[in-house]
Amino acid sequence: MLANPETKIDRFVVEINASGRVDLEQIGLDLIYISFDIDVFDMSYAPGTGSSEPTGMSPNELFPEMRKFAATKTIVGFDLVEYNPLYDNRGQQTAHLARRIMLQFLTGISMKKAAMDPNYIHPRVAGDP
């Protein structure tokens, strides 16, 4: 139940466009709740989901966009859906990916609080010596 029944809630579904890029700039709202579906990743990265995507994205493609999005918007909540530990492999690969997803969003939120450039990537992550 909303605290203020006059509050309007808009729902956006962010789709991956034909070039494999995510257009996150289309969302112009101030307060955003994210429901992240883990089966957007290729099945080789996320086997622990009920509906694996054979031609999905890789974490390297999506993580910078997720971090940048969280660094430019005000995230009020987050959930991760479609993770099924019963389907995960012995190394808990999808569980580790879910942890990394959470860390990317938390890093972006921290970058916003610290007023950092949303496009900043640490030199070690970028591969610079």
Sign of CA dihedral 68, 53, 37, 26: positive
Predicted local distance difference test score (pLDDT) of residue 18 = 45
Rounded CA separation 97/110 (Å): 20
Quick one: pLDDT at residue 100? 93
Structure tokens at 102: 């959470």
pLDDT of residue 119: 85
Instruction: Note whether 39 and 46 are within 8 A (CB).
Output: yes
pTM for the whole structure: 0.76
How many whole angstroms separate alpha carbon 22 and alpha carbon 99? 21
Q: Rounded to an integer, what distance in angstroms lies between the CA atom of residue 6 and that of residue 21? A: 35
User: According to the model, what pLDDT value does residue 2 have?
Assistant: 43
Q: Return per-residue pLDDT of the chain as tens, 129 residues.
A: 445 445 555 555 555 544 455 555 666 666 788 888 898 899 899 999 988 778 888 898 888 888 988 998 888 888 899 999 999 999 999 999 999 999 999 999 999 999 999 888 777 766 655
